[in-house]
Amino acid sequence: MSSKSSNESNSDLPKSPFWEEPDALALREGFWLPTCLLDSAASFRQNFQAREGDVVLASPIKTGTTWLMAIAHSLLHKPKSNDANNADALASNNPHSLVPTVEFELWSPTTTVNIFDPTSPRLLHTHLPFSLLPASLSASKIVYIARGPEDTLISMWHYFNAVAAPVPLEKAVECFCSGAHPFGPFDRHVAEYWLETRRRPEKVLFVKYEDMKREPGREVSRIAEFLGRPVAAEGEVEEILWRCSLERLKNLEVNAAGHAAYFRKGEVRDGKNYLTPEMGDRIHRSVGVKLEALGLFFSDRR
Ligand code: A3P
């Protein structure tokens, strides 16, 4: 995290294609950012003044962002009545509409969210790496979600093939292993937040998608406590898990058009269904070993 202003010119930055789009990414301080988001990322870093109580969710792409958004929003905006339908914001809003991703909002010409406005939502999300966050966020609570590299890559492949011209899996593996994908390299993104959670566990909570799948109740309670909103009432965790479940959200009308690509299978080890052993080895050598060195996401490919 730094307050250093970014005075490099965007056109001087190294560029990379992504999927079929030339110069889609630009390398800023070791991370590949979508070229269209360079200005908004710099503006966020330079101008955002965090306030007490702000909560920031952070993630690489395709690691469970949508799920975390739904859960954090549910925890911070608990329904005031027992009328589930009236009180449940998720019934009529996609989680991404409830928790704005700052770099997208600052870039979008049609945004309705002004993150510099003190009355704007203070539950925000970013895909930016820790080292590119505004310095003022050092006092804020950050919840980060990560996921094993193979499943992240396969989720990314399905997602971008659904929203852009499809590419073969070999090309997606190459992109992922080279680190030249939005907000990559993946291992470095994860490592930065992991080191920060070790340094300041009271400010940065590290959540793994796999743990959320295995022990969702325990993980939701952990997030709730971290956010200072412990779940006390009996059945409350189960209620939140139901509200935020993939099965429910996927079938809501509000998530059908335009948002369907966010909701797919949500399975752990789905990567194994697609990757050849050679691809798995390649991912392990390029990305996995660096995460294992941190004690994270051990693979069975060793
Ligand atoms: P798969 O592609 O493996 O199914 P992100 O939200 O960061 O874009 O991540 C998308 C991944 O999270 C997708 O994984 C998607 O299916 C899964 N996902 C989305 N909503 C979820 C939910 N409510 N519960 C569990 N997984 C969810």
- CB-CB contact of 180 with 25 (8 Å): yes
Q: Is residue 231 part of a domain?
A: yes
Number of C-alpha atoms within 13 angstroms, CB side, residue 111?
Answer: 19
Instruction: Provide the CA 254 distance to its chain's centre, in angstroms.
Output: 21
Q: Is 59 in the pocket of ligand 1 (CB under 6 A)?
A: yes
For residue 70, which atom of ligand 1 is closest to its CA?
Answer: 23
What was the pLDDT predicted at 108? 86
Whether the link from the prior residue into 129 is cis, omega within 30° of 0, is no
For residue 69, which atom of ligand 1 is closest to its CA?
Answer: 6
CA 160–ligand 1 middle distance (angstroms):
14
Q: Is 127 a catalytic residue?
A: yes
What was the pLDDT predicted at 82? 55
Q: Is residue 154 part of a domain?
A: yes
- CB-CB contact of 226 with 141 (8 Å): yes
What was the pLDDT predicted at 233? 79
Q: What residue's CA is closest to ligand 1, atom 9?
A: 62
What was the pLDDT predicted at 6? 47
CA 284–ligand 1 middle distance (angstroms):
22
Q: Is residue 255 part of a domain?
A: yes
Q: Buried (b) or exposed (e) across 200-236, using 16+ Cβ within 10 A?
A: eeeebbbbbbbebbeebeebbbbbbebbebebeeeeb
* Averages of pLDDT over each 10 residues, the chain, 302 residues: 56 96 97 97 93 94 98 86 65 93 90 77 93 95 98 98 95 98 98 98 98 97 95 89 96 86 94 96 97 94 60
Number of structural domains found in the chain: 1
SS (H, E, C) 196-242: HHHHCCCCEEEEEHHHHHHCHHHHHHHHHHHCCCCCCCCCHHHHHHH
Q: Is residue 63 part of a domain?
A: yes
Domain carrying residue 90: 22-292
Q: Is residue 66 part of a domain?
A: yes
- CB-CB contact of 65 with 235 (8 Å): no
Rounded to two decimals, what is the model's pTM? 0.94
Q: Is residue 8 part of a domain?
A: no
Rounded to whole angstroms, how far apart are CA atoms 122 and 56?
Answer: 8
- Probe ligand 1: pick from 96, 101, 155, 267, max atoms within 8 Å of CB? 155
For residue 213, which atom of ligand 1 is closest to its CA?
Answer: 25
Q: What residue's CA is closest to ligand 1, atom 2?
A: 155
CATH number, domain containing residue 270: 3.40.50.300
Q: Is residue 299 part of a domain?
A: no
Q: Is residue 262 part of a domain?
A: yes
